[in-house]
Structure 1
Amino acid sequence: METITLPNSDLTGSRIALGTWAIGGWMWGGTDEKQSIDTVKSAVERGITTIDTAPVYGFGESETLVGKALKQHGLRDQVLLATKCGLNWTEDSAVYRDATQSRLTQEVEDSLRRLQTDRIDLYQLHWPDPTVEIDEVAHTLQTLKEQGKIRAVGVSNFSVDQMNAFNRVCPLSTIQPPYNLFERDIERDILPAARDANIGTLTYGALCRGLLSGKMREDTTFDGDDLRNNDPKFQKGRFEQYLKAVKRLDDYAREHYDKTVLELSLRWLLDQDGVSIALWGARRPDQLDPAGNVMGWSLDQNAKRDIDAILDDCITDPVGPEFMAPPTRND
């Protein structure tokens, strides 16, 4: 497994990270505790030592399950443990941005307790909160770092200007934006800016909510509160375009590399200049089986051009991940 040391830190972790949003259950149709704990254990056994979670993933459930897994199997010191802050929610599960000092100082204590640890390796502001000055938020996280509660600071879903403003007050180790073969907006500005500022990238959505897994069909449906029921990519008209692209990419991967579209998608991410770590969401151990097949090879420029041509040919009505943005706080 490839590893990397994050800028402005002494943290080293795997370049594939276990994403645990689905483990939290909320917006993913529920969760299974034993299966989730087994998934975390299996990830570490495969060399996936970067684990990313957040309080809002199941309203504490994901952090709790990650903490149980690490404690139960004695794995805490083997992992780079990343979580987030800056979102709040109501009793009826309505999520909103809240990066006030009082919220962040309470969140870090809650996360430490749920994760059953005395420090968080990478603490990331989940979304910018326009109701709080960036300098104020940066100072709060810098203080938590000086107190030893967190070891490094990151931001998620920030613009270039927001990232740079934060970095001037509190040195950033990472920015976490959405990035995958189908969602590439960060190539225009965020990725080059992060490279220039020596800020690592911990990209999320590697398989685009499962689209790039190669396992979906036109009649695939999603249960309950699954967020894909509200994702424009999964609606009639666009869904067929993306599935066509997946089929073409899978054919290309098998013909040229004897790999699957999933493995091609992850390798493509890791081969992008400026990508430090790619988050890979899983909720069962068997979903991690392809991990070894992502290592030990790479895509050259000709292959990347071929891939772009497939995307251009298949997807005539592209759409990004904007639907996932939570609302701001109402005072």
Structure 2
Amino acid sequence: MEYTQLGTSDLKVSRIGLGTWAIGGWLWGGTDEKEAIKAILYALESGINLIDTAPIYGFGLSEEICGKAIQEYGRRDQVIIATKAGLEWDQEEKSWRNSSRKRILKEIDDSLRRLRTDYIDLYQIHWPDPDTPIEETAETLYELYQAGKIRAIGVSNFSPEQMDAWRKVAPLHSNQPQLNLFQSHLKDTVFRYCHENQIGTLTWGTLAHGLLTGKFTADATFPKDDLRHNHPLFTGERFKQYLQAIERLKAFAKEKGKSITQLAVRWVLDQPGVTCALWGARRPEQLEEAAGTVGWSLTSEDLAYMDQILKETVPVPYQPPAKFGPPSRSDLGIKA
């Protein structure tokens, strides 16, 4: 495994981290707790030391499963727990953004309990909250940092302008933006900013919700409670184009003695500004290829050829809309 420092923090993280969104089950067609725990233990035993989770993943279930697995592992000081705050939900599984001081102070105690720990290594704000001043949120996390409840301060899905505002009030050690071969729209903005300002990054969506594993065909279907059921990456003409790209990328990966999954994750790791690529898994066998992703790099010629494949097969790649992610309180008419 490769390791590196996360921004200006004192955290030494593996360059591949375990993403546990699917482990929570919600929007992923359910989960198997025993298999999920095995996956987390497999990751830790194989050298992955960063486990990324969030309260919203299964409405606490992902954090609870991570807590059980890390307790079973027994070496808490060797695990980097990254979790998040800033989302609220109701009994109907409707969620919205809330990064107020009151919400964060409640969330951290809930997360500490579910994770069975007395500190969190990396605490991240899941989405920017337009109804709460960034200064209020940043000051709250800075207080938690100074109190020793968290070891590093992070955000997720923040723009350069939002990171600028944050850094006027508190340290910022990391950001978690989306990045994969098929969705690289943030490379020249968010990742460049982080690279230039020594802010670490964790990439989410590294395998494009599983599309870059190469296991899907044109007749693939998903249950209605799976986010891929109607996701633009998996529907219509564009899905067929992505599958064409995957076939060509598979052939290129084979020439290098790698799988398309290893090629796709290595591409992310070789982008400027990337610290750690999150690899989502909920069964141990989904992590077996991780070891073959480290210890080598793509050449500039490799990167150019992969870029050419994408341009030729997917002329208009999917990009998330400007208003992306959970709604705000004001969107839903919820009073603070």
TM-score, reference length from structure 1: 0.98
Q: CA deviation at 1:292?
A: 1.1
- Greater Cα shift, 54-63 or 227-236: 227-236
Shift of residue 73 of structure 1? 2.3
SS at match of 2:209: coil
Q: Contact 1:8–1:171 (CA<8 Å) still a contact in 2?
A: no
Offset of residue 174 of structure 1: 0.5
Deviation at 1:191, TM superposition (A): 1.0
Percent of aligned pairs with the same amino acid: 51
Letter in 2 for 1:36: A
Give 5+ residue unaligned stretches, structure 2: none
Separation in 2, partners of 1:177, 1:67: 24
* Matches of 2:248 and 2:31, distance apart in 1: 32
How big is each residue's C-alpha offset from its partner over 1:261-301, in whole Å with a ceiling of 9 and x where there is no partner?
10000111111111000000000000000011111211011
Give the drift of 1:189.
0.9
Give the aligned partner of residue 133 of structure 1.
133
The Cα offsets for residues 179-237 of structure 1, whole Å up to 9 and x where unpaired, read as 01011111121111111111011111110001100101111111231011131111121
The separation in 1 between residues aligned to 2:198 and 2:22, in whole angstroms, is 30
Q: Pick which of 223-232 and 62-71 moved more.
A: 223-232
1:133-157 CA-to-partner distances (Å, cap 9, x unmatched) read 1111100110111111111100000
| 1:286 corresponds to | 285
Q: d(CA) in 1 for partners of 2:66 and 2:295?
A: 29
| 8 Å CA contact retained: 1:55, 1:62 | yes
* Larger displacement relative to structure 2 (102-111 or 144-153): 144-153
Q: Which runs of 5+ in 1 are unaligned?
A: none
CA distance in structure 1 between the partners assigned to 2:231 and 2:62 by the alignment:
22
- Do residues 76 (structure 1) and 85 (structure 2) align? no
User: Matches of 1:76 and 1:68 in 2, distance apart?
Assistant: 12
Aligned residue pair count: 330
Q: Which residue of 2 aligns with 1:57?
A: 57
**Alpha-carbon separation, structure 1, partners of 2:73 and 2:303:** 40
Higher mean C-alpha displacement, 156-165 vs 230-239:
230-239
Runs of 4+ more than 6 Å apart:
none
Output one character per residue of 1:101-159: Cα deviation in whole Å (capped at 9) or x when no partner: 11000000000000000100000000000001111110011011111111110000011
**Distance (whole Å) between structure 2 residues aligned to residue 291 and residue 186 of structure 1:** 24
**1:8 corresponds to 2:11:** no
State the partner residue of 2:217.
217
Q: Which amino acid aligns with 1:261?
A: I
Deviates more, 1:80-89 or 1:233-242: 233-242
The Cα RMSD (Å) is 1.1
Q: Quick one: structure 1 residues 14 and 201, their matched pair in 2 at CA, closer, same or farther if it must change by over 3 Å?
A: same
Secondary structure at the aligned position of 2:83 is classed as: strand
SS of 1:151 mapped into structure 2 = strand
C-alpha distance in structure 2 between counterparts of 1:305 and 1:228, whole Å: 29
Matched to 1:129, the amino acid is D
- Which residue number corresponds to residue 190 of structure 2? 190
User: For 1:47 and 1:89, how far apart are their aligned partners in 2?
Assistant: 34
Following the alignment from structure 2 to structure 1, what is the Cα–Cα distance between the partners of residues 166 and 230? 32
CA contact (8 A) 1:205 1:279 kept: yes
**1:66-91 Cα shifts (integer Å, max 9, x gaps):** 00000122132211110000000111
Give the Cα separation in 2 of the matches to 1:195 and 1:307.
Answer: 23
Paired residue type of 1:105: L
Matching residue's letter, 2:249: L
- Alignment partners' CA distance in 1, 2:324 and 2:291: 30
Asked if the contact 1:233/1:239 (under 8 Å) is kept, the reply is yes
Q: What residue in structure 1 maps to residue 300 of structure 2?
A: 301
The residue that corresponds to 1:26 in the other structure is 26
Give, as a single letter, the amino acid of the residue that structure 1 aligns with 2:178. P
Q: Superposition pairs for residues 248-267 of structure 1, below 5 Å?
A: 248-255=248-255, 257-267=256-266
Cα deviation for residue 324 of structure 1 reads 5.6
Amino acid at match of 1:78: Q
Partner of 1:280: helix, strand, or coil? Answer: strand
Report the equivalent of 1:173. 173
Amino acid at match of 1:135: E
